[in-house]
């Protein structure tokens, strides 16, 4: 058994068993059944060592994140995930690394009922691409377009934790509080895609996207796609206790605005539906925070205690800036 | 406009316009309609600079090959291609390179009616992953399993050209005959996926796969999947005039058996259907050659003029050996 036979072993049975997979790993292609009345929802994302995660990251986290960033895209569409394909380029076939990587991927896949239905493994610099497919009932997908003037802007969870977690993981930030450090690093290494909440928001939110590049980078895309102006009250950004324990409010807000990797959802929400969607969030043990609103016009504005901010963030995190996505 | 906005421009409208693409490039995910009665056929393949193509290859060829190797997988299933997603990791955003890359990808996509519906562009070592999706009428896909004892083994086109073309492109083989060199290098740089022939073989061939790793590497997979023994008469391997013009018969056969990258189809064929499928091939201006047969048992055997060959090829091409595929 050569090293690549070994790899094949690790990925032959990853994730959920699904009856709609007529042919999975092992032929020239997978054969899959999309249920009647459903549209196929498909996305692809790559994470590269040294760009999207520190070299030497725990392989378990790399496997988790490679799938999580894709699940987050389906969450933003209000889609139910079903199948994933993996294109893994790696310098060598280290069994311990592969076992941890496959384990991280498999646990998250099972948690969301996703089957790994195919892939390709090649030798080269560590680069992990996952393509994901899922469904929505025809015509019900959440898009970035569709928001209306007067809609509230809301976000799930808390923002900025992942940015602080990355700074802690790479040693550029330190704290004596190991519980706080652990919590924030976990937020970077094991982001939670908001799949269930995306389903709950379908038919209620008028637009949605996931926050992968930070609110300051992502919000203009939603505003532009909806043909509206987006306004944010920066003091309303939800910040976790852990983040506030290790950073000044100013630093915490900078992470929340620009650090990226939060994988929370940003939504446009008719005011009359705010209470019901917040109740749905509460059932999922998830915060839902109103941070601003959509107005006629274009562009984005930010205020802090009523004073306008010309540039909400001074410095962007260049660790992630070198990545862009055709579909984010 | 930053460099990644530039990249986005190159890939926003690549390939065919398709009415079944409800939402393409530009949101968190694509929204796609699979026609009623059809199964979704999906595959993913990565090509890496220095592994699957020489560093410094014409970007037009890299774009073509990245899609061609995936179209070839759908051809092997007898599927009609529809949509592709691109995950492109590249060291820098050189406009000339991107224009040629996108052009090579777009021309082949349009020729097969394929729309690019999404993707992701990241900075890193040059690595190109394409995920492809298409359809087959439910239950009609060609698989590697399904061949019967007594079926003929057949291949499309000619074998070994691409191996010689790569040797010529990298300078490890030389010829004064520039027309021959050009023809063989084109076979490596611009392989032709046998999509139309795959459709013609549906309902006729009992098993199929595409030849990406060379017959000696790929045939055992079909034999194993079908639970049969595969026998090949090596003197029947189809060799092009160009290949025979620059190589001894022995060298030409070694390339045909082991060099890979031919992207021809290997099929199992009931004897009574041979004439009709050959007629279909002729209409497509394509050779179809019987090279052996399937027998009860397992494993693979090779004869040359009736004498058994223990090892059909001495040396494998390690340029490609470092790649393996979970679904080939």
Q: Comparing B323 with B118, which gets the higher pLDDT? A: B118
Please check whether the two domains, A3-137 and A152-308, share a CATH topology.
Answer: no
Is A69 part of the contact surface with chain B (CB cutoff 8 Å)?
A: no
List, for residues B168-209, the tens digit of each pLDDT value. Answer: 999 889 998 999 999 999 999 999 999 999 999 999 999 999
Q: Looking at residue A132, what is its pLDDT?
A: 98
| Cβ-contact A14, A106 below 8 angstroms | yes
Chain B CA closest to residue A10: B326
Nearest to B79 among A29, A141, A209 (CB): A29
* CATH class name, domain B3-137: alpha beta
Residue B241 belongs to what H/E stretch? helix B241-246
Q: Looking at residue B50, what is its pLDDT?
A: 87
Taking the CB of residue B314, how many other CB atoms lie within 10 A of it? Answer: 8
Nearest to B39 among A33, A138, A208 (CB): A33
Neighboring chain B residues of A76 at a CB cutoff of 8 Å:
28-29
- Which residue of B33, B38, B120, B208 to mutate against A (max A Cβ within 10 Å)? B120
| Cβ-contact B24, B30 below 8 angstroms | yes
Please tell me the distance in Å from B312's CA to the nearest CA on chain A: 20
Is A85 part of the contact surface with chain B (CB cutoff 8 Å)?
A: yes
**b/e per residue, A54-93, with b = 16+ CB within 10 A?**
beebbbbbbbbbbbbbbbbbbbbbbbbbbbbbbbbbbeeb
CA angle A183, A186, A187 (to 5 degrees): 90
Residue B46 CA to residue B198 CA, distance in Å, equals 22
**b/e per residue, B145-167, with b = 16+ CB within 10 A?**
bbbeeebbbbbbbbbbbbbbbbb
Neighboring chain A residues of B328 at a CB cutoff of 8 Å:
27-28
Mean pLDDT over the full length of chain B: 91
The structure tokens listed for B309 are 């060959």
**b/e per residue, B8-28, with b = 16+ CB within 10 A?**
bebbeebbbebebbbbbbbbb
| Cβ-contact B79, B194 below 8 angstroms | no
Residue B319 has pLDDT above 60, yes or no: no
pLDDT-based confidence at residue A94 (cuts at 50, 70, 90): confident
Residue percentage of chain B with pLDDT more than 90: 78
Neighboring chain A residues of B26 at a CB cutoff of 8 Å:
144, 225, 326-327
Residue A300 has pLDDT above 60, yes or no: yes
Chain A CA closest to residue B145: A27
Residue A24 has pLDDT above 50, yes or no: yes
Interface of A with B in 187-246 (CB under 8 A): 208-210, 225
CA angle A65, A70, A74 (to 5 degrees): 140
Interface of B with A in 15-44 (CB under 8 A): 22-23, 25-34, 36, 39-44
pLDDT-based confidence at residue A134 (cuts at 50, 70, 90): very high
Average the pLDDT over each of A15-29, A38-52, A133-147, B3-17 and give the range with the smallest value. Answer: B3-17
The number of angstroms, rounded, from the C-alpha of B168 to the middle of its chain's C-alpha atoms is 20
Q: Looking at residue B22, what is its pLDDT?
A: 94
CB contact under 8 A, B23 and A144: no
**b/e per residue, A173-208, with b = 16+ CB within 10 A?**
beeeeeebbebbbbbbbbbbbbbbbbbbbbebbbbb
Residue A63 CA to residue A295 CA, distance in Å, equals 40
Mean pLDDT of A252-270: 95
- Which residue of A19, A120, A267, A319 to mutate against B (max B Cβ within 10 Å)? A120
List, for residues B78-116, the tens digit of each pLDDT value. Answer: 999 999 999 999 998 888 999 999 999 999 999 999 999
CB pairs under 8 A between A and B: 261
Residue A1 has pLDDT above 60, yes or no: no
| Cβ-contact A219, A270 below 8 angstroms | no
**b/e per residue, A272-290, with b = 16+ CB within 10 A?**
ebbeebbebbeeeebbbbb
Q: Where are the beta strands (DSSP E) in chain B?
A: 21-23, 30-32, 38-48, 80-90, 115-123, 127-137, 152-156, 207-211, 229-233, 264-269, 288-295, 300-304, 307-309
Is B123 part of the contact surface with chain A (CB cutoff 8 Å)?
A: yes
| Cβ-contact B184, B168 below 8 angstroms | yes
Please tell me the distance in Å from A285's CA to the nearest CA on chain B: 24
Q: Looking at residue A322, what is its pLDDT?
A: 36
Residue A4 has pLDDT above 80, yes or no: no
Is A8 part of the contact surface with chain B (CB cutoff 8 Å)?
A: yes
pLDDT-based confidence at residue B219 (cuts at 50, 70, 90): very high
Q: Comparing A67 with B173, which gets the higher pLDDT? A: A67
Please tell me the distance in Å from A40's CA to the nearest CA on chain B: 5
Nearest to B327 among A5, A119, A131 (CB): A119
Q: Looking at residue B224, what is its pLDDT?
A: 95
Is A9 part of the contact surface with chain B (CB cutoff 8 Å)?
A: no
List, for residues B31-59, the tens digit of each pLDDT value. Answer: 999 999 999 999 999 999 988 898 889 99
Q: Bridge partners of A121? A: A88, B324
Domain coordinates of chain A in residue numbers?
Answer: 3-137, 152-308
Q: Comparing A93 with B130, which gets the higher pLDDT? A: B130
pLDDT-based confidence at residue B265 (cuts at 50, 70, 90): very high
Predicted-complex ipTM score: 0.92
Residue A35 has pLDDT above 90, yes or no: yes
CB contact under 8 A, B209 and A143: no
CB contact under 8 A, B73 and A8: no
Please count the CA atoms within 13 angstroms of the CA of A254 that sit on its side-chain side.
13
CB contact under 8 A, A327 and B8: no
Q: Looking at residue A7, what is its pLDDT?
A: 65
Residue percentage of chain B with pLDDT more than 70: 93
Helix (H, G, I), strand (E, B) or coil at B48: strand
Helix (H, G, I), strand (E, B) or coil at A37: coil
List, for residues A233-257, the tens digit of each pLDDT value. Answer: 999 999 999 999 999 999 999 999 9
Q: What is the dihedral of CA B4, B9, B11, B13, to 10 degrees?
A: 160
Residue A116 CA to residue A32 CA, distance in Å, equals 12
Query: Into which CATH architecture does domain A152-308 fall?
Result: Alpha-Beta Complex (3.90)
Residue B271 belongs to what H/E stretch? none
Residues in chain A: 328
Is A91 part of the contact surface with chain B (CB cutoff 8 Å)?
A: no
Q: Comparing B54 with B131, which gets the higher pLDDT? A: B131
CB contact under 8 A, B143 and A27: yes
Please tell me the distance in Å from A77's CA to the nearest CA on chain B: 7
Residue B163 has pLDDT above 70, yes or no: yes
Q: Looking at residue A221, what is its pLDDT?
A: 93
Q: Looking at residue A153, what is its pLDDT?
A: 98
This prediction has a pTM of 0.93
Which residues touch A42 (CB under 8 Å, ≥6 apart)? A131, A132, A133, A134, B29, B30, B32, B83, B85, B117, B118, B133
Q: Looking at residue B139, what is its pLDDT?
A: 94
Q: φ, ψ for residue B40 (rounded to 5)?
A: -80, 135
Q: How many helices (H) and strands (E) does chain B have?
A: 11, 13
Please tell me the distance in Å from B147's CA to the nearest CA on chain A: 14
List, for residues A160-216, the tens digit of each pLDDT value. Answer: 999 999 999 998 899 989 999 999 999 999 999 999 999 999 999 999 999 998 999
Is A48 part of the contact surface with chain B (CB cutoff 8 Å)?
A: yes
Q: Looking at residue A219, what is its pLDDT?
A: 96
Residue A31 CA to residue B42 CA, distance in Å, equals 7
Nearest to A29 among B32, B46, B73 (CB): B73
Please tell me the distance in Å from B173's CA to the nearest CA on chain A: 25
Residue A101 CA to residue A281 CA, distance in Å, equals 31
Mean pLDDT of B21-33: 93
- Which residue of B29, B138, B322 to mutate against A (max A Cβ within 10 Å)? B29
Mean pLDDT over the full length of chain A: 91
Nearest to A326 among B25, B77, B210 (CB): B25
Q: Looking at residue B318, what is its pLDDT?
A: 34
Q: Looking at residue A93, what is its pLDDT?
A: 82
């Amino acid at each position: 058994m050569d090293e690549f036979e070994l790899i094949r072993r690790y990925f032959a049975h990853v994730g959920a068993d699904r009856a709609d997979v007529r042919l999975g790993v092992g032929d020239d292609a997978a054969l899959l059944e999309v249920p009647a009345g459903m549209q196929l929802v498909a996305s692809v994302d790559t994470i590269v060592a040294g760009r999207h995660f520190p070299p030497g990251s725990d392989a378990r986290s790399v496997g988790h994140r490679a799938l999580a960033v894709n699940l987050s895209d389906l969450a933003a569409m209000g889609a139910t995930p079903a199948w994933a394909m993996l294109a893994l380029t790696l310098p060598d076939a280290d069994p311990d690394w592969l076992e941890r990587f496959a384990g991280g991927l498999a646990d998250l896949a099972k948690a969301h009922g996703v089957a790994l239905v195919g892939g390709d493994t090649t030798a080269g610099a560590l680069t992990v691409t996952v393509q994901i497919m899922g469904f929505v009932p025809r015509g019900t997908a959440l898009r970035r377009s569709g928001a209306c003037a007067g809609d509230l802007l809301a976000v799930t969870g808390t923002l900025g934790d992942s940015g602080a977690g990355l700074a802690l993981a790479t040693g550029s930030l330190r704290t004596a509080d190991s519980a706080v450090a652990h919590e924030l690093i976990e937020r970077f290494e094991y982001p939670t895609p908001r799949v269930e909440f995306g389903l709950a928001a379908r038919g209620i939110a008028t637009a949605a996207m996931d926050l992968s590049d930070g609110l300051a980078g992502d919000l203009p895309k939603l505003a532009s796609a909806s043909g509206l102006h987006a306004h944010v009250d920066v003091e309303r950004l939800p910040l976790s206790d852990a983040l506030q324990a290790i950073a000044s409010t100013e630093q915490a807000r900078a992470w929340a605005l620009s650090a990226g990797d939060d994988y929370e959802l940003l939504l446009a929400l008719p005011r009359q539906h705010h209470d019901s969607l917040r109740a749905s969030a509460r059932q999922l043990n998830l915060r839902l925070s109103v941070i601003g609103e959509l107005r006629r016009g274009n562009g984005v504005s930010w205020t802090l205690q009523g004073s306008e901010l010309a540039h909400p963030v001074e410095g962007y995190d260049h660790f992630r800036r070198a990545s862009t996505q055709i579909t984010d």
